[in-house]
Amino acid sequence: MGHSLTIERTLKKKSKPPENQLGFGIHYTDHMFIMDYTVENGWHQPRIIPYQPISLDPAAKVFHYGQTIFEGLKAYRTADERVLLFRPDQNFKRMNRSNARLSIPQIDEEFAIEALRQLIQVDQDWIPTSAGTSLYIRPFVISTEAYLGVAPSKSYQFIIIMSPVGPYYAEGVNPVKIFVESEYVRAVNGGIGEAKTGGNYAASLKAQEGANEKGYSQVLWLDGVHRKYIEEVGSMNVFFKINGEVHTPALNGSILDGITRKSIIQMLKHWNIPVVERTISIEELYDYHAKGQLEEAFGTGTAAVISPIGELNWRENKILLNQGQTGELSAKLYDTLTGIQNGLMADPFGWMVEGTVLSKQI
């Protein structure tokens, strides 16, 4: 792909929200990246333009058949004014795996990272600096062909937007109450659970709503066939500390291959804490709890990083984990991973990479 990226700067910069009121995914930066795909030209015309609405034909496939994928990653500004990205290569690799599953054409991963660096450079004054804040980056692809026949679209747009965000939980890292969902499922093996695509989220809303009504913040998803084996928690991967070992559901085709999950596994192994990726049933988990061996549980994902689980409700059997408090290991994982991401702690894994093109100024 021969790309030459053009940059059109905005003539009126937006005012920035106060850093203590960022929320998550509410405010967007001054610019966006966009690139088009057609069968004749492949991916072409990459450009950074002022942040603006996009115009699509009402028959565009994305509205009808959900052929779309997305990614989520963060940029951080360090105390010494560097801009760092956490494992962006992993996000763009996964983007192409999602693309492949949804019959969307592959995107040049290295070019995408370079385009992202250019975009961050243009909007770098949007990266917040207070503790717990970052610049959330949302790359996504939509199918744009105006045609109601069911077939892969012949045209697409790849877009990157960015949002300055506060800590995912404004109140800080506190354990959340989780409802174990026994009726609805988010994905089944052979479906699209492994792909980061809107359809999985649409499928999850009903259960999420039900859990919220009952006073729970998320659901624990069980497998789609038996409603027996643990898959994920909300839109996060899930881990359990049992008898000093850490257990997490093995990737099985319906579980999203989280980059935080992968990194936590690597970190635990680095600390010589045994990690087991396997099939875990909800029954077994409750048995471990009954025997006093279920020590901690937490979810992992880019947005919240680590989200400790304080309570589970499975068919009205409620159990407290670690007395409803954040566990020692959950806290250590959170502090270490966010420390590495913010450039406050050494990065023995080589995860952090430059987020801008040149050293500092544009």
Residues within the interface to ligand PLP (CB under 6 A): 72, 196, 200, 232, 235-237, 256, 258-261, 300-302
How far does CA 152 lie from the centroid of its chain?
Answer: 25
- The minimum distance between CB 186 and ligand PLP, in angstroms, equals 7
Tokens 């919240």 sit on residue: 304
CA distance 39 to 154: 6
- The minimum distance between CB 7 and ligand PLP, in angstroms, equals 28
* Of 91 and 326, CB closest to ligand PLP: 91
* Of 244 and 339, CB closest to ligand PLP: 339
Contact 183, 209 (CB under 8 A): no
From the number of C-beta atoms within 10 Å of its C-beta (0-12, 13-18, 19+), residue 110 rates as: exposed
Backbone angles phi, psi at 93, to 5 degrees: -65, -45
In this structure, how many other beta carbons lie within 10 angstroms of the beta carbon of residue 262? 15
Residues with Cβ within 8 Å of 212's Cβ and at least 6 positions away in sequence, in order, are: none
* Of 60 and 256, CB closest to ligand PLP: 256
* Of 307 and 326, CB closest to ligand PLP: 307
- The minimum distance between CB 146 and ligand PLP, in angstroms, equals 28
* Of 262 and 332, CB closest to ligand PLP: 262
- The minimum distance between CB 70 and ligand PLP, in angstroms, equals 8
CA distance 173 to 93: 30
- The minimum distance between CB 340 and ligand PLP, in angstroms, equals 14
174: amino acid identity, one letter: N
CA distance 216 to 303: 19
- The minimum distance between CB 337 and ligand PLP, in angstroms, equals 10
Query: Any idea what DSSP says for residue 141?
Result: E
134: amino acid identity, one letter: S
* Of 91 and 143, CB closest to ligand PLP: 91
